[in-house]
Structure 1
Amino acid sequence: MLVKDFRRLVLILGPVVVLSILSIGLWQAKSEYLLGQYNQLRGKPSSPPPEPAKPEQKNNLGSIERPNPLPPPSKWKEIFSLTTPNKTFFEIRFGDVPVFNPNILPHPTEDDTWIIMGQKWVSHEDIALGLIAYEMGCKARFTVNGEELKCIEDPEPLPIKPTTGGLCEGRWEVLNLNVGPHDARAFYGPNKPYTIYGSNSNLVCFGQWIQDFRELVPSAWKGISSEKEDTTFRHGTELRRPPPSHPIEKNYFVFWDNKNHMHAHYDIFPDRSFARLNEKDGAVGPNLALTTAKHDNKCLEKYLPFVSDLEFESIHQATNSLKLTLCNRSDRSCRLREEENTFIMTIVQHKSFYSFHSEYEPYVILFRQTAPYEVFAVSKKPLWISGRGRQEEKKRTDMLYVTSMGWKEKGMRYHGFLDDVLFLGFGVEDKRAGGIDVLAGDLVGSTDIIGLCEG
Structure 2
Amino acid sequence: MIAKDCKRLALFGLPVLILIYTAASFYRDILPVGPPAHDEPKSAAPWEKGNHMEVFSASTHDRKYFPIDFGEIKGMNPNIIPHPHLEETWIVVAQESRGPDVQDPVFAEIACNAAFRDGTLRCISPPARLPIAPTAGDKCTGELAFFGLNAGPHDARVLYGPDKPYVVYGSNSALTCFGQWIHDFRELVGAWADDDGDDEEGEKGEEPEPQETPDLFRAATELQRPAAHAYGAVEKNWFPFWDRAGRMYVHYDMSPRRVFARIHADGSAGEDLATATAAADARCLARYVPALPPALESVHQATNSLSVTMCRRADPRCVPGAHNTFVLAVWQHKTFYRFHGVYEPYAMLFRRDAPFAVHAVSRRPLWIHGREEHRDRQTSDMMYVTSVSWKHAGLKYHGFLDDELVLGFGIEDRDSGGIDLVAGDLLANLGLCDD
* Shared fold, TM over 0.5: yes
- Of 251, 264, 278, the match for 1:293: 278
Against the structure 1 CA distance between its residues 354 and 376, is the aligned structure 2 distance closer, same or farther, given a 3 Å change threshold?
A: same
Against the structure 1 CA distance between its residues 71 and 196, is the aligned structure 2 distance closer, same or farther, given a 3 Å change threshold?
A: closer
TM-score, normalisation: structure 1: 0.86
Q: 2:386 — aligned with what?
A: 403
- Of 46, 58, 62, the match for 2:35: 58
Q: 2:56 — aligned with what?
A: 80
1:196 aligns with 2:173: no
Query: What is the percentage of aligned positions where both structures have the same residue?
Result: 45
1:345 aligns with 2:334: no
**Match runs of 1:201-216 below 5 Å:** 201-216=173-188
- The answer as to whether partners of 2:19 and 2:144 remain within 8 angstroms in 1 is no
TM-superposed CA distance for 1:129, in Å, is 5.3
Structure 1 unaligned runs (5+)?
Answer: 1-23, 49-56
Kindly provide the amino acid, as one letter, of the partner of residue 300 in structure 1. Answer: L
Larger proportion of helix: 1
Q: 1:54 — aligned with what?
A: none
Kindly provide the amino acid, as one letter, of the partner of residue 381 in structure 2. Answer: D
TM-score, normalisation: structure 2: 0.90
Q: 1:269 — aligned with what?
A: 255
CA distance in 2, matches of 1:76, 1:288: 32
- The answer as to whether partners of 1:273 and 1:289 remain within 8 angstroms in 2 is yes
- The answer as to whether partners of 2:326 and 2:352 remain within 8 angstroms in 1 is yes
Q: 1:109 — aligned with what?
A: 85
CA distance in 1, matches of 2:167, 2:104: 27
- Of 342, 362, 377, the match for 1:359: 342
TM-superposed CA distance for 1:71, in Å, is 4.9
CA distance in 2, matches of 1:113, 1:381: 33
- Of 242, 253, 257, the match for 1:256: 242
- Of 429, 432, 435, the match for 1:452: 432
Per-residue CA deviations over 1:167-203 (Å, capped at 9, x if unaligned) read 1122112211100001000010000000000000011
Q: 1:246 — aligned with what?
A: 232
Against the structure 1 CA distance between its residues 88 and 238, is the aligned structure 2 distance closer, same or farther, given a 3 Å change threshold?
A: same
Q: 2:202 — aligned with what?
A: none
Q: 1:376 — aligned with what?
A: 359
Aligned residues: 410
CA distance in 2, matches of 1:230, 1:417: 26
Kindly provide the amino acid, as one letter, of the partner of residue 330 in structure 1. Answer: A
Per-residue CA deviations over 1:82-108 (Å, capped at 9, x if unaligned) read 111100000001111111110001000
Kindly provide the amino acid, as one letter, of the partner of residue 56 in structure 2. Answer: F
Against the structure 1 CA distance between its residues 229 and 41, is the aligned structure 2 distance closer, same or farther, given a 3 Å change threshold?
A: closer
CA distance in 1, matches of 2:347, 2:57: 17
Q: 2:201 — aligned with what?
A: none
- The answer as to whether partners of 1:78 and 1:383 remain within 8 angstroms in 2 is yes
1:419 aligns with 2:402: yes
- Of 140, 148, 154, the match for 2:114: 140
- The answer as to whether partners of 1:122 and 1:133 remain within 8 angstroms in 2 is no
Per-residue CA deviations over 1:243-274 (Å, capped at 9, x if unaligned) read 12222111100000000010000001111100
1:168 aligns with 2:140: yes
Moved more, 35-44 or 376-385: 35-44
TM-superposed CA distance for 1:340, in Å, is 1.6
- Of 425, 437, 442, the match for 2:425: 442
Which is greater in Rg?
Answer: 1
Against the structure 1 CA distance between its residues 71 and 184, is the aligned structure 2 distance closer, same or farther, given a 3 Å change threshold?
A: closer
CA distance in 1, matches of 2:358, 2:433: 7
CA distance in 1, matches of 2:14, 2:397: 46
- The answer as to whether partners of 2:47 and 2:379 remain within 8 angstroms in 1 is no
Moved more, 361-370 or 27-36: 27-36
TM-superposed CA distance for 1:452, in Å, is 0.3
TM-superposed CA distance for 1:318, in Å, is 0.2
Q: 1:93 — aligned with what?
A: 69
CA distance in 2, matches of 1:36, 1:90: 33
- The answer as to whether partners of 2:273 and 2:354 remain within 8 angstroms in 1 is no
Kindly provide the amino acid, as one letter, of the partner of residue 306 in structure 1. Answer: A
TM-superposed CA distance for 1:74, in Å, is 2.3
TM-superposed CA distance for 1:67, in Å, is 3.8
CA distance in 2, matches of 1:25, 1:91: 33
TM-superposed CA distance for 1:165, in Å, is 1.2
Against the structure 1 CA distance between its residues 362 and 63, is the aligned structure 2 distance closer, same or farther, given a 3 Å change threshold?
A: farther
Kindly provide the amino acid, as one letter, of the partner of residue 378 in structure 2. Answer: K
CA RMSD of aligned residues (A): 2.2
